[in-house]
Amino acid sequence: MITMLPATEDDARELAPLLRAEDRAEVLALGVDPVDGLLQSLAAAQEAWTYRDDGRIICMAGVAPLSLIGSTGVPWLLGSPLVSTNRRAFMVETRRMVAHWLTLFPLLRNVVDARYDAAIRWLRWLGFAIGEPFMLGNGWFRLALREAA
């Protein structure tokens, strides 16, 4: 059974060594250690959730304000290989989650590793516009934008 609970620092430490290879590569290309990246994302988040399947961690996701005075949210999600095992539930829940975040922030934006084809397809499916590749940190990334309808 899939459960959703407020994310904690312990969840971040649990998920970091279990990250999908592509998620780990993306975080490292940004020049951040996976544990530190999850902890920083969690600390900045307006809201963050951990999803589990019978106690096993699937992913952590959240959204943070881009700035204190703006109306742009920065969504993030990092997952374990259980994302694939729970693909249908993952797709349904992330669509719901993005719709909710668009009620908090009229614009969502973040970057995605330009090599991460599955994430780019998923973001497009969620309605994000994907920009051209640009150099950031230690790799090539694409801007992902989604505006409220």
Tens of each residue's pLDDT in the chain, 149 residues: 889 999 999 999 999 999 999 999 999 999 999 999 999 999 999 999 999 999 999 999 999 999 988 899 999 999 999 999 999 999 999 999 999 999 999 999 999 999 999 999 999 999 999 999 999 999 999 999 999 98
Confidence at residue 40, expressed as pLDDT on a 0 to 100 scale: 97
Residue 123 contacts residue 36 (beta carbons within 8 Å)? no
Confidence at residue 113, expressed as pLDDT on a 0 to 100 scale: 98
Confidence at residue 70, expressed as pLDDT on a 0 to 100 scale: 82
Confidence at residue 91, expressed as pLDDT on a 0 to 100 scale: 93
Closest among 75, 72, 66, 120 to 96, alpha carbons compared? 75
pTM: 0.94
In terms of residues, how long is the chain?
149
Confidence at residue 68, expressed as pLDDT on a 0 to 100 scale: 85
Q: What is the 3-state secondary structure (H, E, C) of 45-113?
A: CCEEEEEEECCEEEEEEEEEECCCCCCEEEEEEEECCHHHHCHHHHHHHHHHHHHHHHHHCCEEEEEEE
Per CATH, the number for 2-105 is: 3.40.630.30
- Give the separation between CA 4 and CA 93, rounded to whole angstroms: 10
